[in-house]
Amino acid sequence: MKISIIIPTYNRNTILCNTLKSILSFKHQFDELLLIDQTKEHDEETKKYLDSLVSKNKITYIFEEKPSTPNAKNIGIERSTGDILFFFDDDVEINEDTIISNLEILKNEDIGGVTGRVIIQNTDISGNIVLGNTVKAKNPLKSLIFFFLRKKASYVGLLGIISDFTGNKLLPTDTCIGCNMAFKKETLQKSGFFDTNFTGNAVREETDLSVRIRKAGYKIFYNPNASVIHYMNNSGGTRTEANEQYWYSLFKNQSYFYYKNFKFSFIHIYFLQFFDILRCKKTGLKPSLIFKKAFNEAKGLIN
C-alpha cells in the first residue's frame, strides 16, 4: 500500500521545520509528504529550508491562499497518490512506531481509520487558549462520566464528546484527534472529505468526519503505539486570542456539528457548551448573545 502524509500549515516557521525534520527522518516508511501551506510570508530561514526540500523532491509543496484547515486537508486528499493517508499537525514530533504501527490495524477491511496517542509538551497555559480550557468542576465530571466508558477511547453522543487519547490500550473510538490520524483513502471517498463549513478554529471537523465514517459502516480505533508529541505552539495554526470572534467561531462550529449530526436543540447544545460559556463569561463578554448568533448561523448552514 502506498502511504501519503498530509500536513496543513498556517503561520508557522521554526516549529514547522522541526515537524518536517521529524517526519522526514522516517522517509523510508512512507511514499510522499504533502505540505499544504496557507502562510503568506515565512521567515527567511524557513523559506530556505522549504525550498531545499522541494528541490530535493522530499516534499510536495502546495500553496493555498485562503486559510481553512478542512479545505487544506481536502486539497491534500485530492492531490495525494497514497492508499493510506496520514494527517499530522504542523507542530508535532513523531517516532519510529507512529506510522508503521497503524498499518497492521488498517489491513482489516472493516477498519477505516486510526487515531493515536497525543503527548502534550506545551505547559505555557497562560499563552494558549486551548490548554487554558480549564474549569475546576470540568475534569472531575469528565472523569466520572468516562468511568463508565472505559471500553472506548472516546464517546460521541447525547452527553457530548468525551475522550482520552493518552491510554495504553488498543480501543475502539468514536472520533479521531486531528493532530494524529490516518485513514484508508477509499474510506474518505465513501464517507466524504472534511466539511469546509467548519471555519476559524475548525473545532469538530475531525469528529464530524469520524461520525460519517462510522455511519458508512467502518470502525475507528485508538492505537497507543502511534503516538506523537504535540507542542501545541502558542502562535500560528488555529491559535488565536480569546476575543469575541474566537468564541463565535467555537460556538458556531460546535452548534453546526451537533445540529448537523444529531439535530440537537438550542438548549441541548447550550448545555453541552456550559463550561465554554463560563470561560467566555469570565472574559467580560456576553456568551448567551454570541452563542445565539452562532447557533442561528450554524442552523442556517443546514436548513
pLDDT digits (tens, 9 = 90+) for 51-83: 999 999 999 999 999 999 999 999 999 999 999
What is the pLDDT, as a whole number, of residue 131? 46
pLDDT at 232: 82
- Distance between CA atoms of 298 and 228, rounded to whole angstroms? 32
Q: How far apart are CA 90 and CA 64, in angstroms?
A: 15
Which of these, 117, 121, 77, 73, lies nearest to 98 by C-alpha position?
Answer: 117
Domains and CATH numbers, the chain: 3-230 (3.90.550.10), 244-302 (no CATH)
pLDDT range class, residue 127, cuts 50, 70, 90: very low
Instruction: Give the CA dihedral 232, 237, 241, 244, nearest 10 degrees.
Output: -130
- 87-91, 190-194, 279-283: the lowest-pLDDT one: 279-283
**What is the average pLDDT across 206-211?**
98
Cα gap 211→274, rounded to integer Å: 23
3-state secondary structure of 227: strand
Q: Which stretches does DSSP call E strand in the chain?
A: 3-9, 32-37, 60-63, 84-88, 92-94, 111-120, 154-157, 160-163, 171-172, 180-184, 219-230
DSSP annotation of 98: T
Burial class (CB in 10 A: 0-12, 13-18, 19+), 96: exposed
- The confidence band for 122, taking pLDDT boundaries of 50, 70 and 90, is low
Residue with cell 528541490: 55
Q: Which of 266, 242, 240, 243 is nearest to 255 (CA)?
A: 266
233-245: per-residue pLDDT in tens? 766 666 556 689 9
pLDDT-derived band at 164, boundaries 50, 70, 90: confident
